[in-house]
Amino acid sequence: MASGSNIDPSHIKFGKSVYINPKIRLPQFDNGDSLAYQAYDSQNKEGKFIAIIAGVENIPRWNAVAAYAGLADTSFMRLVGSGVVNWSLENKQKYVFMYSGGLGKCLVEEGGFSEHHWRHPDIVEYFIQPMARMFKEMSDKNFAHGSICPSNIYYSGGGANSPVILGDGLSACAGSTQDALFFPPSKALAHPMGRGIASLEDDIYAFGVSLVLFLRKGNHLNGLSNEDIVRRKIDIGSYATLIGQERFPASFLDLLRGVLHDCSSSRWGVDEFFSWLDGTRLSPEPLTKKKKANRSIDFCGKKYLYAEFLALDLHKNPNELSSIIENGSLGKWVERSVDDTPMTERYIKALERSLADSDNKDYLAAQIAIALNPSLPLHYKGKCFTYDGLGSMMAKTICDGGDMGYYKSVLNLSLPDQALAGAGLPQNEVLANLKQFDTCRSVLRMNNMGYGIERCVYILCDSAPCLSPKLEQYFINSDSSVIMAFEDMCKRGGQIALMIDQHLAAFYYVAYPNIMGSIAYDLNSPEKDSKIAANLRFMAGLQKRARINSVPAIARVFLESLSGVYKAFNNKEMQKVIKSGVEEAAKDGDLPAMAALLDDKTSLARDKKAFQIASAEYRMLEDEYNQYNIKLANKKTYGVVSGHDAAAVVSWLAATIITVIVILAFISGNRIF
Amino acid sequence: MADKKEKKAKKSKKPKVKKKGGFGFKGRLFFIALVLMSITFLPTTMLLFFGMLPSLVAFFVNARGMSARASTISAMNLAGCVPFVFKLWDTGNDFEASIDILTNTQTLMVIYTAAAFGYMIDWVVTGLVSSYMYQKGVLRMKAIRKRQEVLVGLWGEGLSGTRNDKS
């Protein structure tokens, strides 16, 4: 089709020989807002690829690429490459995930029904077994997919009677492209970007839902809202909610009951999955029974007999909640009617905590909701997210230009810490998460470069690229991407030497704390020259690590701003030598050489010592000058004492000579008088 | 014991004050010898007393610390006296000879002219030396300024510590 010489100029190059054709869309492989395009290898006509293009706003999982590339199972879409591409359609950089093509249709279209003609053994062989193998490998390689749904599982291109292929799970934030149906009640109501880090347990649950959608013949959930479905899942469990009155093959029911368990710790894992495949009959654990209150409580015109349902609705009317707390009816209901001691304790603690911001009724609602149903996501001031989904929510808000003050208050009120308590995590994970939140609160208190809410984003969302507003046209996730972005900006002009901004500093503080630590002092200095020197050192470090030989445009920008930096050397001759050296290095675009010249510790120490000696000499000369100035002020008296002494010497000398002559004359008999 | 040590230390710490004025033991011995010699050689003493009157005047007139000028005058005054001392010794070294010499106008003229010459030496040499030293001082000041300019040229205004050209 296309050879190296006659490539359509509108095609976007990726890597050495792969081109993306932006005119050919492959919508069946889209992952949410990450759109799929056809790509091809210009060297090999057979090479057809699926390029999924993700923008910064999708928070793609670029840091999980290495783990995904290590997955050997053939049922994963084969990732042939990934990286930043200049997406000319939007005139900005995007992250591309390049998969090998040759896939068939998806198992079930979104909102549709399966058109399969597989018998039960085929379903096991071509769908369930490949999924189990993939879960096993994901478990071994510590990877979670985060985008499992039947519209993202494909028939093999080789024919219907082949194992299914699992679609892309990297091009979007984990969980953000799945429908709420694919999540247990603990995550379903959260904002798509706030569903937290992908986990194998969630993937297994999503597989269960996918299997139900694949097998179902009707849709009894049609017309129900996400909240209604969650309410039903809480009421009767996910399995019963999804199966409904549908008649499924009996052999799959145990599997579905196991993988659709609402509690992640009781849900089937990989081992149970394989045991079921081996034919072992396992009985899934029953659902934990909710405690029914003796009498109902009125809230928002509805009567509640279960605290779990009340927790779902508290955020809808915080004022009424406040009044039923103040008149004691909620307290009595929890203590006497529900009669659940742990819940009562949580309720009392929540009331105590809410005193920290007693005027904030939304805070009170969030606290009480956590107390009544700790497994639900956090609902605060109209936003809903899980404790581990906060980071990606914040990143998305920055991309959308939203107000970050909300997240500052969430962190300062320790809401994620309290939501964490209900997640049922092992103690070490709880402590690790609490440490993260503590770190966030401590960085919020500081105003230095690289601190503040921006740093919290990168601490809590490790897949967030740098979200600096000045770099919004670029996808910044590595040293080379930073360097190349600034080189491009410097070429365009208007760029100044103070390149590091709050976001870039925060991003690198999290990714490479040692680099930022070494320049932190100068970066926060009030002197502009120190800041410029810190910027140069930072960019030089990046160029060195990225192994990019030459960045002449960045070097030129720095060169124009270094006049004050040379003054780190006191000796003017040395300044000239350094300046000419820096100019030479700038011509080659060699930032490390420029920084090395300005940061040469031996030369700086020698210069400092020589300056101290020269300074001492200057002061000594100044003292001597002042002494002379005082002495010479009266010309009549200066040197008179010495003059008298000299006169005495002369006089005594003359007198001695005269005396000797007189004595000689006397001895010789001659008389003078 | 400790009190005694402290007292000793206090005593040793007291600065030793040199006695001003008066003679020491050697001085007193020398003065006695001089008086005895003067009595023994009374005619010579008389001649020298009248001959060295300008020196005595110079010693008493000059301010404290200006003894160098008196010394200059004394040297030449003494040189003027020496021929007449020899003349006295040659003519019997008695009072009559001494009075003869002293009453001779020429003698006093020679002795006092020598003393005046001493004063002249003091005036000329002091003027020359002070002028020379003044010029030397001026040149040194210029050299200091030049060296400071070189240092500032090499190290910048920050060297003086009063101005900081880094800011």
Q: Indicate the pLDDT class of residue A221, thresholds 50, 70 and 90.
A: confident
Q: Are residues B107 and B156 in the same domain?
A: no
- Comparing A351-355, A435-439, B71-75, B160-164, the range with the smallest average pLDDT is B160-164
The continuous run of DSSP H or E covering A87 comes out as strand A79-87
CA distances from A258 to A214, A635, A660 (A): 17, 112, 136
pLDDT the model gives residue B63: 64
Kindly state whether residue B158 falls inside one of the protein's structural domains.
yes
Are B114 and B162 found together in one domain? Answer: no
Which pair of structure tokens corresponds to residue A97? 């995930």
**Optimal mutation site among B110, B130, B146, B149, interface A, most CBs of chain A within 10 A:** B130
What is the pLDDT at residue A158? 66
How far, CA to CA in Å, does A578 sit from each of A583, A603, B152? 9, 10, 19
Query: In this structure, what token pair is assigned to residue B71?
Result: 């010394």
Which residues, in sequence order, are CB contacts of A508 under 8 Å at separation 6+? A450, A515, A516, A538
Q: Is A286 on the interface with B (CB under 8 A)?
A: no
Per-residue model confidence (pLDDT) at position A364: 94
Other beta carbons within 10 angstroms of residue A549's beta carbon come to 8
Contact assignment for B75 to A632 by CB distance below 8 Å: no
Q: Are residues B107 and B49 in the same domain?
A: yes
Say if residues A238 and A205 touch (Cβ distance below 8 Å): yes
* pLDDT reading at A382 higher than 50: yes
Please name the helix (run of DSSP H) or strand (run of DSSP E) that holds residue A535, with its range, or none.
helix A528-546
Give B133→chain A minimum CA distance, Å.
Answer: 6
Q: Are A611 and A604 in contact, with CB atoms under 8 Å apart? A: no
Contacts with B137 from chain A: Cβ below 8 Å = 628, 631-632, 638
Residue B57 falls within a domain, yes or no? yes
User: Do B115 and B159 reside in the same domain of the chain?
Assistant: no
pLDDT tens per residue across span A515-531:
898 899 999 999 999 99
Close Cβ partners of A591 (under 8 Å, ≥ 6 residues apart): A536, A539, A540, A543, A544, A551, A554, A555, A558, A585
Q: What kind and span of H or E run contains A292? A: strand A292-299
Residue B75 included in any domain: yes
pLDDT digits (tens, 9 = 90+) for A82-106: 999 999 999 999 999 999 988 888 9
Interface check for A645 against chain B (CB to CB < 8 A): the answer is yes
Q: Quote the pLDDT of residue A114.
A: 81
Look-up of token digits 């909640």:
A321
Alpha helices in A193-283, H assignment, sequence order = 200-215, 226-236, 238-243, 250-259, 270-277
Flag whether pLDDT at A314 surpasses 50.
yes
HEC profile of A94-158: EEEEEEECCEEEECCCCCCCCCCCCCHHHHHHHHHHHHHHHHHHHHHCCCCCCCCCHHHEEEECC
Compare CB distances from A646 to B79, B90, B125 and report the shortest one's residue. Answer: B125
The three-point CA angle A547-A552-A553 to 5° equals 115
| One domain, residues B113 and B143 | no
Mean pLDDT, rounded, for A537-549: 94
Q: Is residue B107 part of a domain?
A: yes
User: What is the Cα–Cα distance from A409 to A405, expressed in whole angstroms?
Assistant: 6
CB contact B68 to A (< 8 Å): yes
From the list A638, A651, A662, the residue facing B72 with the nearest CB is A651
Chain B contact for A322 (CB, 8 A cutoff): no
Helix (H, G, I), strand (E, B) or coil at A166: strand
Per the prediction, chain A carries an average pLDDT of 91
Q: In angstroms, rounded to a whole number, what is the distance separating the alpha carbons of residues A79 and A68?
A: 8
Element (H, E) at A513: helix A513-523
Give the percent of chain A with pLDDT over 90.
75
Mutation target to probe the B interface, by most B beta carbons within 10 A, among A644, A666, A673 is: A644
Confidence of residue A421 (pLDDT cuts 50, 70, 90): confident
Please check whether residue B47 touches A, CB under 8 A.
no
In this predicted model, which residue has the larger pLDDT, A155 or B4? A155
pLDDT class of A537 with cuts at 50, 70, 90: very high
Report yes or no: A635 at the B interface, CB cutoff 8 Å.
Answer: yes
Q: Looking at chain A from residue 454 to 493, which residues have their Cβ under 8 Å from any Cβ of chain B?
A: none
Encoded tokens for B48: 């020298």
Q: What is the pLDDT of residue B22?
A: 61
Write out chain B residues lying below 8 Å of A626, CB-based. none
In chain A, % helix, strand, coil (3-state, to 5) comes to 55, 10, 35
Please, what is the end-to-end C-alpha distance for chain B in angstroms?
Answer: 63
User: Are B95 and B163 members of one domain?
Assistant: no
pLDDT, tens only, A232-275: 999 999 999 999 888 888 889 999 999 999 988 899 999 999 99
Section A451-476 average pLDDT: 94
**A-B Cβ pairs (cutoff 8 Å, strict):** 154
Chain B CB contacts of A562 below 8 Å: none
Both B87 and B145 in one domain: the answer is no
Query: At CA A131, angle to CA A128 and CA A132, rounded to 5?
Result: 85
- B159 and B115 belong to one structural domain: no
Q: Do B161 and A615 touch (CB under 8 A)?
A: yes
| pLDDT at residue B8 in the model | 53
User: Residue A634: what pLDDT?
Assistant: 86
Same domain, B167 and B117: no
Å from A601 to nearest chain B CA? 18
Percentage helix, strand, coil for chain B under 3-state DSSP, each rounded to 5: 80, 0, 20
Q: Are residues B106 and B82 in the same domain?
A: yes
| Structural domain includes residue B4 | no
| Per-residue pLDDT tens digits for A422-449 | 777 888 999 999 999 999 999 999 989 9
Residues 499-538 in A contacting B (C-alpha not used; CB under 8 Å):
527, 529
Q: Is A91 exposed, middle or buried (0-12, 13-18, 19+ CB in 10 A)?
A: exposed
Beta strands in A12-78 (DSSP E): 12-14, 18-25, 35-41, 44-54
Of all residues in chain B, the percent with pLDDT exceeding 90 is: 46
Query: Measuring CA to CA, how many Å separate A449 from each of A454, A488, A527, B119?
Result: 10, 24, 14, 82
| Cβ–Cβ < 8 Å for A170, A68 | yes
CB contact under 8 A, A632 and B134: yes
Q: What pLDDT, on a 0 to 100 scale, did the predictor assign at position B162? A: 55
The answer to whether position B27 is within a domain reads: no
Q: Using the beta-carbon criterion (under 8 Å), do B110 and A673 form an inter-chain contact?
A: yes
Lowest mean pLDDT among A5-9, A429-433, B8-12: B8-12
- For the cut 80, the answer to whether the pLDDT of residue B16 exceeds it is no
Bridge partner residues of A48 (DSSP): A40
**pLDDT for B130 beyond 70:** yes
Q: What mean pLDDT comes out for the span A150-169?
A: 86
Is pLDDT larger for residue A283 or for residue A364? A364
Q: Which residues of A253-274 are buried (b: 16+ CB within 10 A; e: fewer)?
A: ebbbbbbbbbbbeebbbbebbb
HSE value, Cβ hemisphere, 13 Å, CA-based, for A70: 13
Distance of CA A625 to the CA centre of its chain: 64
What is the extent of the structural domain holding B164?
134-167
Q: What is the reported pLDDT for B166?
A: 41
For A79, the enclosing helix (H) or strand (E) is strand A79-87
Q: How far apart are CA B78 and CA A356, in angstroms?
A: 108
- Best probe of the A interface among B52, B67, B72, B123, by most A CBs < 10 A, is B72
The residue of B100, B105, B134, B144 whose CB has the most chain A CBs within 10 angstroms, and thus the best one to mutate to test that interface, is B144
Q: Tell me: domain A1-288, CATH 1.10.510.10, correct?
A: yes
Determine contact: A564 vs chain B, CB below 8 A: yes
Element (H, E) at A643: helix A640-667
B76 part of a folded domain: yes
Residue B21 pLDDT class (50, 70, 90 cuts): low
The CA distances from residue A140 to A144, A266, A523, in Å, are: 10, 20, 43
Contact (Cβ atoms closer than 8 angstroms) between residue B147 and residue B160: no
Q: Is residue B99 part of a domain?
A: yes
Task: Check if the beta carbon of residue A296 is closer than 8 Å to that of residue A323.
Answer: no
DSSP designation for A76 = B
Q: How many CB atoms lie within 10 A of CB A573?
A: 11
Distance CA A45, CA A15 (A): 16
Q: Which residue has the higher pLDDT, A356 or A638?
A: A638
Q: What is the pLDDT of residue A2?
A: 45
Q: Pick the residue from chain A with its C-alpha nearest to B86.
A: A666
ipTM of the prediction greater than 0.85, yes or no: no
Q: How far apart are CA A435 and CA A356, in angstroms?
A: 21
pLDDT of residue B7: 53
pLDDT digits (tens, 9 = 90+) for A104-128: 889 888 877 887 778 888 999 999 9
Taking residues B31-44, report their average pLDDT.
88
| Nearest to A210, CA basis, from A138, A73, A106 | A106
Separation CA A250–CA A269 (nearest Å): 20
Mark yes or no for CB contact B145/A570 under 8 Å. no
Our CA-based measurement puts residue B80 at a distance from the nearest CA of chain A, in whole angstroms, of: 8
For residues B43 and B117, membership in a common domain is answered with: yes
- Per cent of chain A over pLDDT 70 is 99
pLDDT at B165: 42
Q: Is B132 on the interface with A (CB under 8 A)?
A: yes
CB of A643 within 8 Å of a chain B CB? The answer is yes
Residues in A closer than 8 angstroms to B71, CB to CB, are 648, 651-652
Give me the mean pLDDT over the B16-27 stretch: 63
Give CA–CA dist A482/B93, Å, rounded. 115
A664/B contact by beta carbon, under 8 A: no
Give chain B's domain count.
2
Residues of A in contact with B115 (CB under 8 A): none
> What DSSP line would sit under A16-30, residue for residue?
TTEEEEEEEE-GGG-
pLDDT at A323 over 90: yes
Number of neighbours of residue B42 by Cβ within 10 angstroms: 14
Task: Please list every residue in chain B whose beta carbon sits closer than 8 Å to the beta carbon of residue A650.
Answer: 72, 121, 125
pLDDT tens digits along A639-670: 898 999 999 999 999 999 999 999 998 888 87
Helix, coil or strand: residue A5: coil
Q: What is the pLDDT of residues A23-80, one digit of tens each?
A: 999 999 999 999 999 999 988 877 789 999 999 999 999 999 999 999 999 999 999 9
Residue B65: the pLDDT is: 56
pLDDT for residue A43: 86
Residue in B153, B155, B161 closest to A570 by CB: B155
Largest CA distance in chain B: 91
3-state secondary structure at position A12: strand
Residue A294's H or E segment, with its range, is: strand A292-299
Which among A527, A611, A622 has CB closest to B155?
A: A611
Tell whether B45 and B113 lie within a shared domain.
Answer: yes
Query: Is residue B88 helix, strand or coil?
Result: helix
pLDDT tens digit sequence for A167-194: 999 999 999 999 999 999 999 999 999 9
CB contact under 8 A, A632 and B158: no
A638 touches chain B (CB under 8 A): yes
